[in-house]
Amino acid sequence: MRELRLDAARQRRHGVQIMSFEQLAVRLAGGFARPIDDECLRTAIQAVLPDTTLGELESIKLLPGMVDAAADTLHKAWRAGIDLAARAGDHPRLDSIARLEAAVLAQLPPGMMRPTDLVARALERVAHAHAVLGPLEIVGITELSPCWRPLLRELTAHTSVSWTAGPRPTPPWLDPFGVTINRADPTAPAISTVSAATAYHEAIEAIRWARGLMASGEAEPADIAIAAASTGDYDDHLLALRADANLDLHFVHGIKVTTTRDGQAAAALADLLIRGFSQTRMRRLAALCSSETGPFAGLPQGWLRVLPTDAPLASPASWQRLLDRLTADDWPDATDHTPTLRGIIDLLAKGHPAADEIGAAFLSGRALAVWRKALLAGPSGSLDATLDSLKQDDGLEACVSVAWMPASALAASPRRFVRLIGMNSSRWPRGISEDRPDRRDFETILATTSDQIVMSRARRDSEGRLLGRSALLGPASDEIYIRRNAVPVHAFSETDRLMARPDEFARDSQAISATTAWRNWHRKEITPHDGLVRADHPLLQAILGRTQSASSLRLLLRSPLGFVWRYGMRLRTPESGADPLVLDTLAMGDLVHMTLDLALATLEKAGGLAAADDAQIAGAVQDAAARIAVVWESERAVPPALIWRRTLDDARILTTRALTYGDEHLPDARSFGEVAFGGATPKADAASPWDSQTPVEIPATGFRIAGYIDRLDIAGDGKRALVRDFPRDQVDFQLGDPEATLTEITGYLQAARANLQSGQALIGPDTGGAYDDLAFALPANAGATYCKRKLPAATEAFGDAALVWEAQ
């Protein structure tokens, strides 16, 4: 109707009123009569469903989607003119719907009427039709719902009524009504048929076609339409391509609310309420709902830094444990905001039953409107699914934009240039129930499009299966085959243009850089794209001057490039956002070490490990494992409950074995666990055999080192000590000559330092391996290709430093 109104305004047809037939009935009925709008109907249905007995529908009345299904059913029954109350005894299902209708009508305001009630009221005043309405012209439809037909019949006796059909067919029931039918000859557009590789390729070709028409001056945006029998298969493709093409493509049927920021804010809140707490969900909610008026407004900028990076925070209890540990020094502005964050957690912990209250607190503006609309459309327990199905207007004006619409909408509002996509078997026409309307819409589009029609189909689906042609298409011999990599006649975006013009793309600075890197990666010699940097670079000097750990020195020796990435560029493994199925080797080692440290401290307080029997050790381990589990669940990701319990059992077994290992026992020994040295922060308050802040330097290398000794036993006389290390991976080795080994390692470290200072941050044998967390920054499948290609040259460049790779 907007296009009809615009056309009437351009032609200066003053006094013309353009309305739907429902609005006509309301105008004639007069008074305070008004139709039942969709939002009021859904609100009424949601209000009456819990207390209304629905017979055979009783068991499903509170399920997700019931409000939508009930609203659609009532609309269809009313448009068909069915008196549900009179036919309630014909079938139990009709009785259920009649009960729902009665409850809904009682809930609605008195002025809201069903179509049949509006018609009855309008028929009482039909004698005033000529004065109230004047001459009537029905335009752009091929069918009229049965509920309006009695009014149309009576109107012909009191005012002039014409039906402008044009080339469209008219329904058989119209003939005896006495309506003047204005017909026109069908148009004769140029028709062509094309096939694309996939549905996504179809969407690309459609945007190219529309851009080409506008660029050539052949058509204005308002003259162009892209249509399909069912738009759902193409909405996501065209929405993404619309942004890339910077093209005003109007979605006549609306876009999903979850494609907008406001919809994403509502979806983030629903995700947390339905699926429960997690750090990932909380971070997403904070990013999308950090408005000036919401609860997050009371928290300082950067407050998310108080959350432990690895902690899942998957329950209110884990959040409360975190909040109990926070102090003012933990917050970015050195002010304690714990009460504010605690209030947020307590409010969210109420869950979806308090969705209305929580939504009002966290959302505002359009996001809050979307939230409330979703609550009207379904129960709070299915908010996420309801939000995913909601649509809203895309904000574009149909009268000045290229239109993407269902075929039924195009049949009612024709355009000069049309592209029909999805012309595959079972898609156009669709199933048995939609077969007749789809064929009728197709015939109407052919008869009303004046200039050009392009019919498009996909040859394969997204999984590569062949698709059949629609029965509505012409002979296959007339079909134009479009290759997926074909050069477009007219590109729809800068990306499309550069891909179509390799010579132009090759001159782009980014393309030159990318091409050079790609070629250098495939050369056997070392290039600037393999880690060569300026000698004595300040960043290299800084990371070599930091206090090292055993892990960092191992990385320097076996993957210098990884050493620079991790400690110089601060690269980290991307967070997966999901809890692990099992703990990896490193995490399992941490769990055992923490349990061992706590159990050992407990035993030392009770008289020492040397004097403890098996029962005391087992009790200390059991207690330590339980306490560590609480801390771990608060700070790190945990597997599913069953696997987590088995993991704790394994940790207890390994800890017990470590404490009861049958090697040498020192007389009157004192035992220490996780002993800090070199400036490392002690992990517990237990006594330490030395000052942990005393610097420790590896002689003749320039490296300072800090870390922890897993277990240290010191004899009572202080003359002997046993140092034990419990490796996180399964490594078994013994040092025959420790002094010689230390001398050898010193040489390797000196060579590694010299190589890195000279600018050789190259790969090593551990680069791209199974345990390389930074393999994502390497070329794809680097372990099997790039690393094997470059390692010989890197080995030669490193010289003596590479000898450590073969050391035993």
Q: In this predicted model, what pLDDT tens digit does every residue of 304-348 receive, in sequence order?
A: 888 887 777 888 888 888 888 889 988 999 899 999 999 999 999
Long-range contacts of 545-550 (CB under 8 A, 24+ apart): 547/678, 547/679, 547/704, 547/705, 547/706, 548/703, 548/704, 548/705, 548/706, 549/705, 549/706, 549/707, 550/705, 550/707
Per DSSP, 670 falls in state E
> What does the alpha-carbon distance between residue 263 and residue 374 come to, in Å, rounded to a whole number?
10
> What does the alpha-carbon distance between residue 272 and residue 363 come to, in Å, rounded to a whole number?
14
Q: Could you tell me which residues are beta bridge partners of residue 113?
A: 35
Backbone angles phi, psi at 807, to 5 degrees: -70, 145
Position 490 in a domain: no
* CA 37 to the chain's CA centroid: 33
Q: Is 735 helix (H, G, I), strand (E, B) or coil?
A: coil
Task: Match 């979307």 to its residue by tokens.
Answer: 370
- Residue 1 is predicted with a pLDDT of 67
Task: Let me know whether 726 and 660 are in one domain.
Answer: yes
Task: Let me know whether 46 and 172 are in one domain.
Answer: yes
Check the CA dihedral 72-78-81-87 and report its sign.
positive
Backbone angles phi, psi at 208, to 5 degrees: -60, -45
Q: Identify the domain boundary among 730, 759, 794.
A: 730
- Residue 730 is predicted with a pLDDT of 45
**In sequence order, what are the residues at sequence separation of 6 or more whose Cβ sits closer than 8 angstroms to the Cβ of residue 723?**
709, 711, 712
Q: Identify the domain boundary among 730, 760, 794.
A: 730
Assigned token pair, 354: 């308090």
Per DSSP, 784 falls in state T
**Full domain range(s) for residue 470:** 190-253+397-481
Position 641 in a domain: yes
Q: What is the pLDDT of residues 461-491, one digit of tens each?
A: 989 999 999 989 877 778 999 998 888 888 9
Position 780 in a domain: yes
What is the domain count for the chain? 5
Task: Let me know whether 556 and 609 are in one domain.
Answer: no
Which one, of 358, 326, 360, lies nearest residue 342 by Cα?
A: 326
Task: Let me know whether 556 and 639 are in one domain.
Answer: no
**pTM of the shown model:** 0.74
Position 510 in a domain: no
Which spans in 453-530 are helix H? 494-500, 502-506, 509-521
Task: Let me know whether 401 and 337 are in one domain.
Answer: no
Which one, of 221, 211, 207, 210, lies nearest residue 399 by Cα?
A: 221
Kind and range of the H or E run holding 43: helix 38-48
Give me the CATH number covering residue 410. Answer: 3.40.50.300
Q: Residue 225: how many CB atoms within 10 A of its CB? A: 26
Task: Let me know whether 287 and 436 are in one domain.
Answer: no
Q: Could you tell me which residues are beta bridge partners of residue 469?
A: 424
> What does the alpha-carbon distance between residue 540 and residue 542 come to, in Å, rounded to a whole number?
5
Go through 73-92 and write b for each residue having 16 or more CB atoms within 10 A of its CB, e for each that does not: bbbebbbebbebeeebeeee
Q: Residue 463: how many CB atoms within 10 A of its CB? A: 6
Position 592 in a domain: yes
Task: Let me know whether 711 and 612 are in one domain.
Answer: yes
> What does the alpha-carbon distance between residue 316 and residue 322 come to, in Å, rounded to a whole number?
10
Task: Match 């190219």 to its residue by tokens.
Answer: 208
Which spans in 80-190 are helix H? 92-107, 115-124, 129-132, 149-155
CB 767, CB 559: distance < 8 Å: yes
Task: Let me know whether 176 and 32 are in one domain.
Answer: yes
Task: Let me know whether 567 and 615 are in one domain.
Answer: no
Task: Let me know whether 335 and 429 are in one domain.
Answer: no
Task: Let me know whether 27 and 166 are in one domain.
Answer: yes
- Residue 734 is predicted with a pLDDT of 59
Position 521 in a domain: no
CB 7, CB 139: distance < 8 Å: no
Task: Let me know whether 297 and 369 are in one domain.
Answer: yes
- Residue 575 is predicted with a pLDDT of 60
Backbone angles phi, psi at 234, to 5 degrees: -120, -10
Q: Identify the domain boundary among 138, 166, 183.
A: 183
Position 176 in a domain: yes
Backbone angles phi, psi at 461, to 5 degrees: -85, -175
The segments of the chain whose pLDDT lies below 70 read 1, 292, 574-580, 661-664, 684, 686, 726-736, 807-808
Compute, in degrees rounded to 10, the torsion defined by CA atoms 125, 129, 130, 135.
Answer: -170
Position 489 in a domain: no
- Residue 639 is predicted with a pLDDT of 82
- Residue 729 is predicted with a pLDDT of 47
Task: Match 């091409």 to its residue by tokens.
Answer: 515
* CA 217 to the chain's CA centroid: 39
CB 108, CB 40: distance < 8 Å: yes
